[in-house]
Structure 1
Amino acid sequence: MKRKNQFAIFLSAFTTLALIVSIVLPASTYAEENNDSFKLTIMHMNDTHAHADLLPNMITAIKDVRAEDPEALLFDAGDVFSGTLYFNEFHGKADLALLNMMDLDAMVFGNHEFDLGSSENAHKSLSEFVSAAKFPLLGTNVDFSGDAFMNKLVKNEFTDSPEDGKVFDGIVKEVNGEKIGIFGLTTEDTANISSPVNVKFLNYIKEAERAVQAFEGMGINKIIAVTHLGYDSNPDFGNDLQLATYVDGIDVVVGGHSHTQLTEPVVVKQDENGTEKDPTVVVQAYQYSQLLGKLQVEFDENGVVIGQAGQLIDVASKEADSKAVEVLAPYKEKITQLSTQESGAIAKKTLANPRLTNSDVSVRANETELGNLVTDAMLAKAKERYPETVIAFQNGGGIREAIEEGPITVGEIIAVLPFGNDPVVVELSGEEIKQILEHSVSQAPAESGGFLHVAGMKFTYDSTKESGSRVVSMYVNVNGEFQEIQANQKYLVTTNNFTAKGGDGFDVFAKAYQEGRVQDIGEIDWEQLRKYMVEDLGGVVDPVLEGRITDLLGADLEAPGDEEGEVTPEEPEAENPETEEPEVNDPETGGNVDDSNDTDTSTDETGSESDDDKTNNGDESGIGNDTDTEQDVNVNHGSTEIASNISGGNALPNTATSMYTMLLVGGILLVAGIAFLIFRKVKYSKA
């Protein structure tokens, strides 16, 4: 009996130990060696947007991965076109010269690949890009039959013998004896935000199901979707999370469009009904050639994902490939010349971009002439596509340089708005606008990258009041007359996609984004500004302060007139130097955080406005990029509220965190201790 009791005690202890181990360890890690499993490495990039200067570094990063795994696949998730002078001048040819050196396995079309459709009355430039590509393109839900140039390059088939320079519904790649099915989806919203002309975009869910069925009919059970849908973009047009939820059989989604920095893969494990499904791994690698995604995924003998691990490689940290630098050199030389080219607009005076370090006013704390110019351009160009747009918002942290008096060069324009953000429109209530403005002035009179410049409206606030209760009045310009903004009324506003996704802590915008109230206009912000100055202003640029933003500083509010300019803003006193935050080291990046009294320490997919006075990484075209890509970014935009079937990625083998190790060891010791005490108690009670 004694032995039976002891056996029962140890059995109980062992069971408890097993339970602790199952709780402490990650739900699924990149599995240990399994003779029946298959491991695949996938590299991915997206939304490079003609930022060609970092592509030589990207090539080095790709070579490094292939040195470890020669069979690694490489995909481009679209939007090579539009964003810098490289595209304006070469229509994708400069980028293609470098892409052709990468040995890409496939590329999907992004919405910006169709930007030239209207000006060319078809897609001549796109067809030249495709036909010269040394890789196949994917157009599973794109109907090119109506385009005279592209329809000759399309092969509506799923093939295991894909040709370079052709468009396929899907392709099959064989890696270490295993066949992988690959197809591509482009957002249906392209019809609204680009210029596809006669190109049509089919339902992404139906076409994904068709692709999965085709591959499974070929006996293929490992399927990758390369998409330009957006990680969590407007659900009315579909996104990667919906694709992974609604379509069974997709193992990996390599995404683009939303410029999302997924620092680790996201795994969708349930369908739309909350029922357990085979895992789908979703990845995306930010923007502007700054990061190369690397995903390692493991399949069981049935093609089910049993392990995954991913990382984003900082491309700028790699040495540029010397041959690629030579290939890019003639293109770069031309761009350097173009950056000094006059835009056709002339500044009647210097448009300063002041900061409190050398001025009594700041682009991040006060209305400025340059801020008014930028927002006027945003509003005018948004109205061309969405006439009901009435307000424009531009965060001060996104306006980076001044414009000098005299002829304005293209390089100057790009330097003002160097991040190439996509303008969007958002439907907001009057109450939401008030909350947004409260956040905008919450730090006043101190600087904040989230301070919003406005057009189409004016508002007053009192910085002497408690933060969150500062906005006193808000008026919107309706046909030249200012009307008070009503809390329950809906208004269409335009801003950049950084702010629209909740950048600088704008939770109201983030909520609108999650609810599908954000619509991409299909433009680039600096190009909007250039067109506005030349086309709308006739090249004469002379903005003035108009009392759009007024700090009452404890004074009583005066009733506004019908014309802008009747309320003169009071300029706050210069910031007390003693309130300046010292420069500190960012433990996440190993670099310095913003040293300018900014309170906006978060960044989003554009990686822009929380940074202060970054260099442009040697980009001689004047195109500034924030190369600090290792910042802590909220990439899920509250996605846990959208779908409870999403989980984060898992670590590589033998890289479990010390927390897990400590908990595991502690659990083992705890159980061992309990078992020993019980054993002693039983032993002596029987003695």
Structure 2
Amino acid sequence: MKKFAPIAIATMLMSTAVYATPFEDIENSAYKEAIESIYEKNIIQGKTDGFDPEASLTRQEAAILLQTTFKLIDMPYRESQDETLEKTFISTDSSMTTLESAVMPAATDVADWSKNAVETVVEARLMEVEAGLFNPTEPMTTEEFALAVAKALYGVENNIEHINEALKSGLLPSDLELDDTLITREEAAYIIDNIVSNENFTIIPIMITADIHGHLDSYMQGDMELGALARIATLVEELRYIDENMLLLDAGDSPYNTNIANLFEGRSTIDVMSAMGYDATVLGNHDFDFVFENLLSLADRAEYKMLSANTYWKDGTYPEELEPYYIAEVDDVKVAIMGLTDHNSILTTHYTNTKDMMLTDHFDSAREVMEEIEEQSDVVIALVHLHSHNKQLPYEVDGIDVEIGGGNDIFGRPEYIEDTLLINPGAHSASLTQININVLDKEMIGYTANQFVITEAIEEHPEIKQIIDEYSIEMGNLMDEVVGYATAQFAWSAPLVRSQENALANLAADSQREYFEADIAFQNGGGVRDGIEEGPITLNDIYSAFPFDNRVILIETTGDVIWDALENGVDSYPATNGKFLQVSGLSYKFDGSMPAGERMISVTMPDGSDLDFDKTYRVVINDFMGGGGDGYDMFNVFNEDAEDGITSRSTLILETNDYIRDVFYKYLIEAQEITPVLENRIEIVNPQETDSKIG
């Protein structure tokens, strides 16, 4: 049962009231039964003076018919004050850098009463604008309307002859000429009724999020306010009002990684998602950022299913708190939803969190599940968090109708790979995808899809907002303590910490080296997640910069191992990889144009001498790297029983319970004032333009 009560929906595209009498002007219409049928199904409202059946269907009326027929909720838009901006559309493989032009309305010539419907179908690619003009009162031809309907049935990205396919299936009537003659309102009603009155046709509405990373509340990106699960809840409720059988799914990495999430060890995120009525989520690699037992306690707390077909205890038993898949029944259609977790996830979190569990090969696990569910289901959805393997899954495993892929932070249009529709849902609660699966005779034939950018234009759901606010108040009491002062801004971005020297990462490494009185300290760039602004520094700022519960440890290792570690750190360059090493106690130079494994040029110690390959150094790392994370198998001092050739070339000297942020906090308390400084600790010969994010 969904926990929050319905609230008023601001904009409805149709009347849900039942009129006492039918339209008086359809008695002589050849399509009277079709008109009455879609009226009873609340697809049309009609005019106050009748239906006007022989009038030509205008483009704005067609937009409303398409939206209501295919259960698409209103597309929120945000008016721009910049008159020079031109509308841009979210495309496949868009990054999460949201431009103001992507959320502004597409059409400038539409009346208020039809604007929501027009924006919705335009964003869904069912109809088009040209230079900001939709021409709303222009009549449509039968062929134009039939094509828009067929695209909504089979999917815009589906490379087929849409009208021919719809005619073959019988979803478009064969007794109506689909040509360049103008279509009437009654003919449009006939086309729509031919679909919605087909007892073997079903629409399964689904809302999808991914990579929330604990972003419960809104945040600023430039001048735009993005995110907030309370805003997503408003859109979810609008769809649930249209179809209470809708599914709400998440593609992993939801519980942790912000202050409000980490301070409560994920409970805040779980409570909000439960109240929103999520049906299922899949485990992502960052779901293991706390100990596995904590994750299982969250699964037990959640009022939705946590899926992962390839997550096991190390002894081979399956955790009772999880499920490999489940089958939902929607209007007599059996939808199997299986979860797959990247089998490399153990390498991207710290070993101590995952030492008692294992991940089996995600492709093999998918094949095993497919054999089990093949006879039990009509439609198969793979809810996965496989990073770069999202696009590989359709080539490896047959029979998946829809793949919802998390881990890449990609927000874009669906795309077909082989016979599988891949959905890219975005990240950080700044995006939401609606994908409506169209099923005919118990088989998926196509889809309609829209992507929503979550901005302040969307009202926050009051009950969900209240839950978040209560956690925020509790957190605020803990996080507002001022602990130091920054004389200038410590800048941050993924390229800054993952492909070049960064002042804040320098300071983090310095604090760790000083803490242990060590020779060298390494801070992986992916462990620094935010900058620090000029002025007072609070505990909140420190948590934002260092959100992961990575403990600092002291090891001893030789110079040749240090060289290999630095080589590992730059082998993905120019991709902005989280394993890129920020350093204290040495400086290094590498050639960005050389092949991976051959990039290191030199390592220089503070006294100007070269790194001694035979000398043993005291080195500070974190326990993520100490478990072999990010390919640092040479530092693997924890995972003693690791397989697949992972062996340690280092010795653990001291293990602590101090997190990176704790050490930084202690350093700041003593220093009181910090200044960003770049000291040429990392020199890049032949630098390359940075590429996509990894890890």
**Aligned with 1:170 (options 304, 325, 345):** 325
CA distance in 2, matches of 1:89, 1:418: 10
**Equivalents in 1 of 2:310, 2:571: separation in Å?**
41
Q: Which amino acid aligns with 1:141?
A: N
Q: Report the counterpart of residue 210 of structure 2 in structure 1.
A: 46
> 1:75 & 1:332 partners in 2: Cα distance?
25
Q: Distance in 2 between matches of 1:267 and 1:426?
A: 43
Name the counterpart of 2:507.
Answer: 373
Check 1:184–1:394 CA distance in 2 against 1; reply closer, same or farther (3 A cut). closer
Q: Deviation of residue 182 (structure 1)? A: 1.3
Q: 5+ unaligned residues in a row in structure 2: which ranges?
A: 1-155, 173-197, 218-227, 551-561, 594-599, 614-620, 625-629, 631-657, 684-688
1:240 to 382, 390, 398: 390
Q: Which residue of 2 aligns with 1:336?
A: 476
Equivalent residue letter for 2:533: E
1:41-440 maps to which residues of 2 (within 5 A)? 41-53=205-217, 54-117=228-291, 123=293, 125-144=294-313, 151=319, 154=320, 166-192=321-347, 193-194=349-350, 195-218=353-376, 220-230=377-387, 232=388, 239-256=389-406, 258-269=407-418, 279-301=419-441, 303=443, 305-316=444-455, 317-341=457-481, 347=484, 350-353=486-489, 370=504, 372-374=506-508, 376=510, 399=531, 401-402=533-534, 404=536, 408-414=537-543
Counterpart CA distance in 2 for 1:480 and 1:183 is: 57
* In structure 2, C-alpha distance between the alignment counterparts of 1:434 and 1:281, rounded to whole Å: 32
Say if 1:248 and 1:428 are closer, same or farther in 2 by CA, change over 3 A: farther
Q: State the partner residue of 1:519.
A: none
User: Which residue pairs with 1:273 in the alignment?
Assistant: none
Q: Distance in 2 between matches of 1:27 and 1:253?
A: 18
- Asked if the contact 1:29/1:308 (under 8 Å) is kept, the reply is no
Higher relative contact order (CA 8 A, sep 6+): 1
The whole-number CA distance in structure 2 between the counterparts of 1:83 and 1:29 is 45
1:27 maps to 159
Are the counterparts in 1 of residues 247 and 279 from structure 2 also a CA contact under 8 Å?
A: yes
Q: Shift of the alpha carbon at 1:280?
A: 0.7
Task: Report the CA distance between 1:76 and its aligned residue.
Answer: 1.7
The 5 A counterparts of 1:472-487 are 475-477=602-604, 483=610
- 1:229–1:255 Cα contact (<8 Å) kept: yes
Supply the AA of the counterpart residue of 1:353.
Q
Cα distance, 1:212 vs. partner? 1.0
Residue 680 of structure 2, aligned match among 549, 563, 570: 549
SS at match of 2:340: strand
In 2, the alpha carbon distance for the partners of 1:98 and 1:40 equals: 24
Paired residue type of 1:320: E
**Quick one: distance in 1 between partners of 2:497 and 2:301?**
45
Counterparts in 2 of 1:416 and 1:89: CA distance versus 1, 3 Å: closer
Change (3 A) 1:68 1:481: farther
Q: Secondary structure at the match of 1:81?
A: coil
Structure 1 residues 478 and 147: alpha-carbon distance in aligned structure 2, compared to 1, 3 A threshold:
farther
Distance 1:341 1:25 in 2: 52
What letter is aligned with 2:391?
Answer: L
* SS of match in other structure, 1:263: strand
TM-superposed CA distance for 1:436, in Å, is 6.2
Q: Secondary structure of 1:168's match?
A: coil
Q: Is the 8 A contact 1:401 1:416 kept in 2?
A: no
Q: 1:263: Cα distance to partner?
A: 0.8
Deviations 1:430-476 (A, max 9, x none): 79969969x99xxxxxxxxxxx9875654799xxxxx99xxxx9743
Equivalents in 2 of 1:241, 1:533: separation in Å?
39
Contact kept in structure 2, 1:264 and 1:309, CA below 8 Å: no
- Secondary structure of the 2:276 match is coil
Alignment gaps of 5+ in structure 1 = 1-23, 155-165, 233-238, 270-278, 356-361, 441-451, 462-466, 487-492, 502-526, 553-599, 607-687
C-alpha distance after superposition, 1:611-658 (max 9, x if no partner): xxxxxxxxxxxxxxxxxxxxxxxxxxxxxxxxxxxxxxxxxxxxxxxx
Check the 8 A contact 1:457/1:475 in 2, yes or no. Answer: no
Post-superposition shift, 1:334?
Answer: 0.9
Count of paired positions: 432
* 2:649 counterpart residue number: none
482 and 61 in structure 1: CA distance in 2 versus 1, 3 angstrom threshold = farther
- 1:64, 1:80 → 2: CA distance? 22
Match of 1:648 in 2: none
Task: Please give the alpha-carbon distance, in whole angstroms, between the structure 1 residues aligned to 2:345 and 2:524.
Answer: 23
Tell me the distance in 2 between the aligned counterparts of 1:217 and 1:431: 46
Q: What code does the residue aligned with 1:240 have?
A: N
Q: 1:108 to 1:394 in 2, by over 3 A?
A: closer
Q: Which amino acid aligns with 1:350?
A: A
Q: 1:254 to 1:431 in 2, by over 3 A?
A: closer
SS at match of 1:100: helix
Q: CA deviation at 1:216?
A: 1.4
CA distance in 1, matches of 2:601, 2:434: 48
Distance 1:251 1:102 in 2: 26
Contact preservation (8 Å) 1:376, 1:392? no
Residue 255 of structure 1: SS of its match in structure 2? strand
Secondary structure in structure 1 of the residue aligned to 2:277: coil
> 1:59 offset after TM fit, Å?
0.7
1:567-593, Cα deviation, whole Å (9 max, x unpaired): xxxxxxxxxxxxxxxxxxxxxxxxxxx
SS in 2 for 1:90: coil
Partners of 1:131 and 1:454 in 2: CA distance: 41
Classify 1:287/1:545 alpha carbon distance in 2 versus 1 (closer, same or farther; 3 Å). closer
How far apart, in 1, do the equivalents of 2:408 and 2:465 lie? 26
Contact 2:157 2:414 in 1 (8 A): no
Shift of 1:543: 6.3
User: What does 1:482-561 correspond to in 2, within 5 Å?
Assistant: 483=610, 530-534=661-665, 540=671, 548-549=679-680
Give the TM-score taking structure 1 as reference length. Answer: 0.51
Post-superposition Cα deviations, 1:136-192, rounded to whole Å, max 9, x if no partner, equal 2223212248699x94xx2xxxxxxxxxxx532321111121111111112222333
Letter in 2 for 1:79: D
